Amino acid sequence: MPKIPDSEFVERQTRVREIVRERGLDAALVYYDELHSSSGWYLCGWCPQFESGAVLIPATGEAAILGGAESEPFARLDSHIKKTYNITVFMVPEEEYPTATIHTMREALEEALGVTPRRLGIVGLGVMPLQVFNLLSEELPDTEIVDLTEPFEALRVIKSPAELDVMREAFRINEQAFLAMKAAVRPGVPEYVVAAAAEGKARELGANGFGFGSIVAGGPRAAGVVPTASDRPLEEGEYAMLGLSVKFEGYATAAGDMIPVGHVSDALAAHRQNLVEAFKIARDQLVPGPSGPEIDAPVRAFLVEKGYAPYLLIPFFHTQGLNEADKPFFGPGSSDRLEEGMVIAIDVSLFGHPEFPGGRLETVYTITASGAEPLSPGVEAAILA
């Protein structure tokens, strides 16, 4: 199966060092946890369970993981960065680890860098817990903190050939699992059974996680935008809104569709067809060059003309990568432009309509010089059928 090679992780760390040096910093501290795992995963191909942590990239010298005692053996097994320091703030609160070597934040940074940092770049400052930030401020009162989140995240926008290979495998797995999910839809089946069909198949095929909790929502529950599967049985004559995002080697996929439960009315079928037509318009926009407002406008205009203006809760395009919804986003206020090498999800959805509670059509493309390449051709074909 495809993987990101060791050489690419080394190259990523080198690019971060270049940013650190350009800005006159001593190091970058890249925060991560299970919810915000992507920045750490980008540098080491790994994320802990239960504990949080950070990747330290010095201007010169060896990268290190600052984390917890439970994560340390796991990191040495699976992370591309093997050097570790245990720091209490990243551990399970009040848990004790009497045989572990535990450092203060200052001790770890001084040992790793050889000096007390004068200027320290932080990635993830907006999601870092206040407790972690306060610890940095208390133990390093003379160190200037610089937010490096934006330049760091810009490194992840254009996908490398190795990333695209991994993502193609991820979408192959996701497509087969999504087809299993769709096949489980029938009257009387609880929503969680439909989700189980997808999740079991995904694990069988090699998925190592999920980008979001599987979405299965029949009838009125579709208004929940991102509702996870419940024990409600699907009912004859309604649509089941489905969504699936598996992860493979850390990279997230997405697929979304509206599946009829038995026979649906002509009005419901026409509603879905309106979303299909909007989806086709969206797909036609996926070429290098245009901005968020430019690709958003024709899709929005079509749906507004059909009377859906009050129900357009979210934009129709976002980037895909280590997160199911990654930066940049391409809404009506965006200044970002489509570029060759980006991976972009089309997500045409409506929520809150009094007659059609909610629905979503979603699949993902990579932007090439000539247009859009579907990463999940089977899901695309099913949406357009």
Half-sphere exposure of 95 (CA within 13 A, CB side): 16
- pLDDT value at 21 more than 90: yes
- Domain 161-384, CATH: 3.90.230.10
- Amino acid at residue number 134: N
Task: Read off the pLDDT of residues 249-308 as tens digits, 9 standing for 90 and up.
Answer: 999 999 999 999 999 999 999 999 999 999 999 999 999 999 999 999 999 999 999 999
pLDDT at site 345: 98
What is the domain partition of the chain in residue ranges? 6-154, 161-384
The arrangement of secondary structure in 6-154, i.e. its CATH architecture, is: 3-Layer(aba) Sandwich (3.40)
d(CA 158, CA 120): 26
DSSP assignment string, 38-68:
HHHHHHHS---SS--EEEEEESSS--EEEE-
Q: How confident is the model at residue 66 (pLDDT cuts 50, 70, 90)?
A: very high
Give the torsion sign (CA, 378, 291, 160, 59).
negative
- pLDDT value at 53 more than 90: yes
Task: Read off the pLDDT of residues 296-355 as tens digits, 9 standing for 90 and up.
Answer: 999 999 999 999 999 999 999 999 999 999 999 999 999 999 999 999 999 999 999 988
Cis preceding linkage at 290, omega within 30: no
Q: What is the mean pLDDT of residues 8-21?
A: 98
- pLDDT value at 41 more than 90: yes
Task: Read off the pLDDT of residues 148-184 as tens digits, 9 standing for 90 and up.
Answer: 999 999 999 999 999 999 999 999 999 999 999 999 9
pLDDT at site 165: 98
pLDDT at site 166: 98
d(CA 270, CA 198): 27
pLDDT at site 1: 86
d(CA 66, CA 88): 10
d(CA 42, CA 39): 5
Helix 266-284 and helix 292-305, axial crossing angle in degrees, nearest 10: 160
Q: What are phi and psi of 364, to 5 degrees?
A: -130, 145
pLDDT at site 198: 98
Q: How confident is the model at residue 67 (pLDDT cuts 50, 70, 90)?
A: very high
As a whole number, the mean pLDDT across the chain is: 96
- pLDDT value at 385 more than 90: no
pLDDT at site 210: 97
Task: Read off the pLDDT of residues 88-120 as tens digits, 9 standing for 90 and up.
Answer: 999 999 899 999 999 999 999 999 999 999 999
- pLDDT value at 245 more than 90: yes
Token digits of residue 331: 């809404």
Q: What is the mean pLDDT of residues 366-379?
A: 95
- Amino acid at residue number 24: G
